[in-house]
Homo-oligomer: A and B are copies of this chain.
Amino acid sequence: MTDEDAVLAANAAYYDAFAEGNVDGMSRLWASDEVSCIHPGWPVLVGRQVVLNSYRNILRNPDRERIAHRDHTVMIAGSEARVLCLEVIDGTGVALAATNLFRRIEGSWRLVHHQASPIASLFDEAPEPASAPPSKRLN
């Protein structure tokens, strides 16, 4: 398995844990320190405990969204890896642009950061985002 394959497998495991509501699995995916997360619409969360508490609340909600992930870009520099991907919320057409950062720790790629932000269609009824989005729309 190449490094890129291993990073993509870790990235897929994140979305699998989310889909399954697997709090223990999600917990194992995250590194023990230097952890941060920005959920859509949320402020910055810093620290493993704070981040995992947020996932515990989200994963225990049976009405949470079902998220498909696609269009991955992987960049690896030494023990640090960045995955960029498109998240599509099932049944809504809502799409988010996501960044997942991984660090190789004792041979495993562990999450150290996640950020997902809604792509422009979410803003159609809201004030203008900070900069006008490009003409490329996803739905």
Contact = CB atoms under 8 A, between A and B. Distances in A.
Nearest to A128: B41
Interface in A29-77: 34, 36, 38-44, 46, 54, 58, 61, 64-65, 67, 71, 73, 75, 77
Interface of A: 34, 36, 38-44, 46, 54, 58, 61, 64-65, 67, 71, 73, 75, 77-80, 82, 84-87, 89, 92, 94-97, 99, 101, 103, 112-113, 115-120, 122-127, 129-131, 133-134, 136, 138
Nearest to A55: B131
A27 B85 CA distance: 25
Question: In this complex, which of A38, A54, A124 has the most chain B Cβ atoms within 10 angstroms of its Cβ?
Answer: A38
A101 B77 CA distance: 12
A113 B75 CA distance: 11
A46 B64 contact: no
Nearest to A124: B126
Given A97-B115, A115-B115, 4 more contacts: A41-B133, A44-B97, A46-B73, A65-B131
